[in-house]
Structure 1
Amino acid sequence: MQHLSIFPILIPLLFGALMLLPPISRDINSQRVTSIIGTLFLLISSAVLLYKINTDGVQLYALGGWQAPFGIALVADKVSSLLVLLTAFLSFCVMLYAVAGQDRGGAYFHPLFMFQIMGINGAFLTGDIFNLFVFFEVLLIASYALLIHAGGKQKTQAALHYVILNLVGSSLFLFGLGILYGTLGTLNMADMAIKVGELQGETATLAKTGALLLLVVFGLKAAMLPMHFWLPKTYASASAPVAALFAIMTKVGIYSIFRVYTVIFGEHAGELANIATPWLWPLALLTIAIGSIGVFASPSLKILSANLVIVSSGSLLACAAINSAAATSAALYYMVHSTLASAGLFLLADVMARQRGKAEDRFVRSRPFVQPRLLGFAFAISALALIGMPPLSGFVGKIMILQATQSTAQTMWVWPLILIGSLAALITFSRAGTTLFWRHNGTVANEAIPAKTTEIISIALLLLASPILVLFGGDISEFTQQAADYLHDIQSSAYDLLPGVTQ
């Protein structure tokens, strides 16, 4: 059990490499079986890891026996293990959908899928900022190829913008790392958290420059205004399984903001204490606002889903700006909800598009659905969850965010924007539902393709997560509060992860 922390990285790496070798690489059915088994193993190991962390506490894994801050360290705490389990569940559901036929659009879908999961899990588990950069690059390289899966001019154009922006982001990431290493002499997060409070004068100013460069990079990953413009077109042009998996990509950036600017540049950081907060406040609120406008203007269900991802990113960034344990707890709960609900809507939009002929998922009059009752029920559940209506998890998550505001000023800014975002989603989903299900021309299209069994199961699992998050809301919110308390406790977050270092 001592190696459990590396399993979420090792499992997708080994299964991805296995599928590059013959005879599995030559047989799509063998790749499908291998991928399902791999994601199932990942889900089980991630659940066991979460259980172990919940019962035994934080687990530090030093690769090769080299202890931090000199070696490569993985840190499995309640925050990272929760997000690893979220990634594992999402990947299992998405893979169930993909094996129904979406994986045939291009070569190497299954290995690339596994390598991207490896990068995402590595980003959540690493205890070193340089290795955070490494895992960012792993997941990005895989995402570049997955984005153009199935080809097409629109996919290629969206991929080009996505690649260029992320290459710029990677360059800024390296500049920021170089500056921080030059000023602190370490890139281990726990070690940095201890040393950053000692910086003064010009050295502190230089370190602040590096920290703000990282904020730009993480903001790009998180689709924070003004670096959000790549997301709607990119997500809408991707194939359904890829877009659904991408639902957690922005969460990697948001997680990095929470981890770096709470543990390293938190209240204890002397001259650099809370340096991200003045920037996060206006940008988070503007991200919610621009996302809500995008929701209103969405011409199709996929673009609506993408704009809702921007709104959720803004809401989570607002929690980071509030910078309290209660806000972090609310963010963790809402992160789980929004990731699964958004992924479910991306998959549902694809099923609906295949049954509407040339109209696809656009909000225009078209032929009726082959499975109107099934799709209508799934659409209603998805809409209620993403709007934030009771009794589903979106309502609970938004209530937790609203309750986390600490001052009158915070309440005056956060409450109206969160509620306006929900109103925008309510109006748009009402318009979309009316058009998609009630305004028909003629009969069912000849080219309409009914949803397959594994596709229905995949969407059902993602949508069922919302009521389950409510049914077990007390236990889950207690867990997220404990995770948030640990993240905000520098004594636990730093000194406990550096054997031999004392206060």
Structure 2
Amino acid sequence: MMDHLPILPILIPLFGGLLMLLPPFAGVERYVNRRIGTTLLCVLHIVATIFLMNSVSENGSMMYAIGNWQAPFGIIMFADPLAVMLVLLTGFLGLASTLYAFAGTDREGRYFHPIMQFQIMGITGAFLTHDLFNLFVFFEVLLIASYALLIHGGGKQRTLANVHYVILNLVGSSLFLFALGTLYGTTGTLNIADMSLKISTLSAREQVIAEAGGMLLLVVFGLKAAILPLHFWLPRTYAAASAPVAALFAIMTKVGVYGIFRVYTVIFGEQAGQLSGMIQPWIWPLAILTVIIGTVGVLASPDLRNLTGNLVIISVGTLLMAFAIRTPEATAAGFYYLIHSTLISAALFMIADMIGQQRGKAVDRFVIARKVQQPALLGLMFFVAAMAIAGLPPFSGFIGKLIILQSAFSDSDKVWVWSIVLISSLLTIIALSRAGTTLFWRHAGDRDKADKTAVSYWQIGGVSLLLIASPLIVIYGAPVIKYTGHAAQQLHDLSAAVSVMQLKGVQQ
């Protein structure tokens, strides 16, 4: 059983989602059964991932070949500390989003919970795969599920956002295939570890073609991660989605960031010869400009959901700066920040929805409106999330940004990283202060009191689950940072993946 652990986090949501399409879960009035089933699936996913994480921590990275087809020809799943960490983060976020949806979002369509499971399966597979073509396959799985989730509940705004989102991702998928064909034509493989060994042996002509394929991949990952200038779709799309869907989408940009870390550290890393660091001249300006445009977007946002979407863009730019430093210390700091930013931005999407429920037609827009019914509860949640996402002590955002700043060793890195991160944090504090003041203090009395609705206990539970994680990863900061450091070392150590593939073999 332990040998099959790497595939379990994929199989659980896959077969669970399929079973939920059948009786006793199918049917309009079977929502209670669906809720019980999806909660059980989320918990099983988390438990399986915890066992996998424990096995990887004790025994090292695990390679799993589907059908016992050996690498580099078979479908390979690779569970290393980084992949398992992100899979656990996905499961935790999926559980919180699912609980929040129990307040009523899941009753807007009978297929909500199965599609959520397929979404979790696609994201999990993207993190665990060790083959670029299979990465493309899992990208398509998570994207198809996201199309359905985005339009869940209907509405003109969601339909319009979904059309733009689908078109952009169809273009991205086409570019992904072109990139894969180019790289396969030059290296003869799409297995990440195998490609990393062959990339330095290419002739000068083949290196030019491989570089073109590598740059196409950067465009694809940049679109998924919402890097400037491919960021414009994110705030509108995430703002249009329902709150639990937008919260789960917070991890989807990290799939693109993960692709950049994995591909350009392992395949085009230090061992890649002439192609080593091929995106380095591009990644610094892209990272800096992404943070800048995200900060401008935060200041210009008309409502809390758009503001949170732009905060996601800032987090992507910050992670790219950690990648651009190109050291294990910076990578480890980036991984810690990734955990923090994903959880808190997801919580903010939910908080924006709860606030909007109690402000009438104004919803979460920064305009004078009626007073919210539960200002103490919602204000406390907003305050904690705002303090954390802005990077103020004692919350996880402060620790995440601090260790990124400390990882900048060279003078040039210090100038850019310190100035951009600190200025962006200051402006984010200003924007969040303005948002909180408008939403909770500037109101037009208690008109339309009868229309106010108290937030559901399911909503409170989903948000609390995410917010509690921020002080917890500060209290247990030492082991968390130790783990992210281990994950970074494994990522930068090419011999680790190669030795697992060549010496340990693979399990059926």
1:235-272, Cα deviation, whole Å (9 max, x unpaired): 00000010000000000000010000001100110011
Alignment partner of 1:275: what SS? coil
Matches within 5 A, 1:182-221: 182-221=185-224
Flag structure 1 segments of 5+ consecutive residues without an equivalent. none
Alignment partner, residue 51 of structure 1:
54
Task: State the distance in 1 between where 2:314 and 2:431 align.
Answer: 14
User: Which of 428, 440, 443 in structure 1 is aligned with 2:443?
Assistant: 440
Task: State the distance in 1 between where 2:287 and 2:401 align.
Answer: 15
2:364 is aligned with 1:361: yes
Alignment partner, residue 432 of structure 2:
429
**Could you tell me whether the CA contact under 8 Å between 1:147 and 1:159 is conserved in 2?**
yes
User: Which of 53, 74, 88 in structure 2 is aligned with 1:71?
Assistant: 74
Alignment partner, residue 480 of structure 1:
484
Post-superposition offset of 1:442: 2.0
Task: State the distance in 2 between where 1:44 and 1:32 align.
Answer: 18
2:468 is aligned with 1:464: yes
User: Which of 97, 106, 111 in structure 2 is aligned with 1:108?
Assistant: 111
Query: What is the percent sequence identity of the aligned residues?
Result: 56
Post-superposition offset of 1:446: 2.1
User: Which of 122, 125, 132 in structure 2 is aligned with 1:122?
Assistant: 125
Matches within 5 A, 1:14-33: 14-26=15-27, 27-33=30-36
Task: State the distance in 2 between where 1:331 and 1:439 align.
Answer: 37
Task: State the distance in 1 between where 2:36 and 2:403 align.
Answer: 40
1:197-254, Cα deviation, whole Å (9 max, x unpaired): 1112110110000011001000000000000000000000000010000000000000
Alignment partner, residue 313 of structure 1:
316
Greater shift in the superposed pair: 342-351 or 22-31: 22-31
Greater shift in the superposed pair: 308-317 or 402-411: 402-411
Alignment partner of 1:352: what SS? helix
User: Which of 206, 212, 236 in structure 2 is aligned with 1:233?
Assistant: 236
Alignment partner of 1:61: what SS? strand
Which amino acid counterpart does residue 317 of structure 1 have in structure 2?
A: L
**Could you tell me whether the CA contact under 8 Å between 1:298 and 1:304 is conserved in 2?**
yes
Alignment partner, residue 282 of structure 1:
285
1:171-217, Cα deviation, whole Å (9 max, x unpaired): 00000000000000000000001111111211011000001100100
Alignment partner of 1:370: what SS? coil
Alignment partner, residue 491 of structure 1:
495
Task: State the distance in 2 between where 1:335 and 1:397 align.
Answer: 8
**Could you tell me whether the CA contact under 8 Å between 2:283 and 2:320 is conserved in 1?**
yes
Post-superposition offset of 1:469: 0.6
**Could you tell me whether the CA contact under 8 Å between 1:67 and 1:499 is conserved in 2?**
no
Post-superposition offset of 1:499: 4.2
**Could you tell me whether the CA contact under 8 Å between 1:388 and 1:422 is conserved in 2?**
yes
Which amino acid counterpart does residue 149 of structure 2 have in structure 1?
A: L
Task: State the distance in 1 between where 2:48 and 2:35 align.
Answer: 20
Alignment partner of 2:366: what SS? coil
Which amino acid counterpart does residue 207 of structure 2 have in structure 1?
A: A
2:413 is aligned with 1:410: yes
Flag structure 2 segments of 5+ consecutive residues without an equivalent. none
Task: State the distance in 2 between where 1:190 and 1:24 align.
Answer: 42
Alignment partner of 2:270: what SS? coil
Alignment size in residue pairs: 501
User: Which of 287, 301, 305 in structure 2 is aligned with 1:302?
Assistant: 305
2:167 is aligned with 1:164: yes
Which amino acid counterpart does residue 161 of structure 2 have in structure 1?
A: A
TM-score by length of 1: 0.98
1:260-310, Cα deviation, whole Å (9 max, x unpaired): 000110011001101121111100100000000000001111011000000
Alignment partner of 1:446: what SS? helix
User: Which of 273, 294, 297 in structure 1 is aligned with 2:276?
Assistant: 273
Alignment partner, residue 154 of structure 1:
157
**Could you tell me whether the CA contact under 8 Å between 1:106 and 1:151 is conserved in 2?**
no
Matches within 5 A, 1:251-400: 251-400=254-403
Which consecutive aligned stretches of 4+ in structure 1 deviate over 6 angstroms post-superposition? none
